[in-house]
Structure 1
Amino acid sequence: MNKIPIKIKYMICGISAMIFLLFLFGIINPFGLNDSLQKITGYFFGFSFNNLDYLAISSIPIFGMLLNSKRKEFKTADLIKDILIIVLFVIITISIGLYILTFIGKPTNPLIPQYLITEPFFLYSTLTVGIGIGLPFLLINRTEKLDEINEIGIEK
């Protein structure tokens, strides 16, 4: 994280805080796509969002900065790419999570309509967002081995 300029660190933290406040006060709904998802899939996904979900989603720029800190040198374009990579992985894991919900989230009570899909446990949406944030860190390895570079920084 020492390679990232301090102004950009403050800007990323400010953007994350602003996104969290917009989520918290209801100005932006992160998954306000229920109506369009219902038209496309025929299911209504009933999610209960809490502050932990909002915190995980709004911290994506900070995690993008952490992913960028694994690079050899800092470039703003690479920082934006890393943030977009994390957003892409979050969207993919949420899509997979919604697909899984169509199998395990259907109600068993005959009085509840079958098109209403609910979370199987309380932090399901937080878990899917967390997996989406963590996957780029597991799949993308940008660090060099320390024994390949000596103290001066010249490769052997």
Structure 2
Amino acid sequence: MNKIPNQIKYVIWAISALIFILFFSGRINPFGLNNSVHQITGYFFGLAFANLDYFIISSIPVFGMLLNSKRKEFKITDLIKDILIVLLFVTFSLLLGLYILTYIGKPSPLVAQYFISEPFLLYSTLIILIGIGMPFIIKKGSNKT
């Protein structure tokens, strides 16, 4: 991370802190798409997103900065690309996690069949962490060849 200018590091840390404060205060809710997802898929996903999930998601710019620090030279466009790559992988892993949840979710005999809940505690956290880790694994694998 030595190649990234300090001003840009401070801006990224401030953006991450601001996003977390907005999540924590309830001003923004990235998971408020339940009605849209329910209309599209026919399932209502009962996921429990905790403050840890909000902290991890608000740290996406920091993880993008860490991914960018693996490059040989710093460019602001590459930094933006890396942040977007991490964001896309997290989005893809969440969608894939919801799809997997349709098969392994715990249906309850007391509620309707379209309601699916998490199979274990911190399922959403694990899916988000997998989405953040994938770009780093791919980048590490591409550097070996």
Which ranges of 4 or more aligned residues in structure 1 deviate by more than 6 Å? 142-145
Q: TM-score, normalised by structure 1?
A: 0.88
Are 2:73 and 1:100 aligned? no
Looking at secondary structure, tell me which structure has more helix per residue.
2
Alpha-carbon distance change, 87 to 10 in structure 1, aligned in 2, over 3 angstroms? same
How far did 1:142 drift?
A: 8.9
Are 2:116 and 1:117 aligned? yes
- Aligned equivalent of 1:53: 53
Work out the CA distance in 1 between the residues paired with 2:128 and 2:93. 7
Identity of aligned residues (%): 66
How far did 1:24 drift?
A: 0.4
CA contact (8 A) 1:46 1:116 kept: yes
Work out the CA distance in 2 between the residues paired with 1:76 and 1:127. 30
Work out the CA distance in 2 between the residues paired with 1:23 and 1:142. 34
Structure 1: 5+ residue runs without aligned partners? 146-156
Work out the CA distance in 2 between the residues paired with 1:141 and 1:104. 31
Alpha-carbon distance change, 143 to 118 in structure 1, aligned in 2, over 3 angstroms? closer
Deviations 1:81-116 (A, max 9, x none): 00000011001111110001001114142x310000
Q: How many residues align?
A: 144
Work out the CA distance in 1 between the residues paired with 2:140 and 2:12. 22
Alpha-carbon distance change, 88 to 133 in structure 1, aligned in 2, over 3 angstroms? same
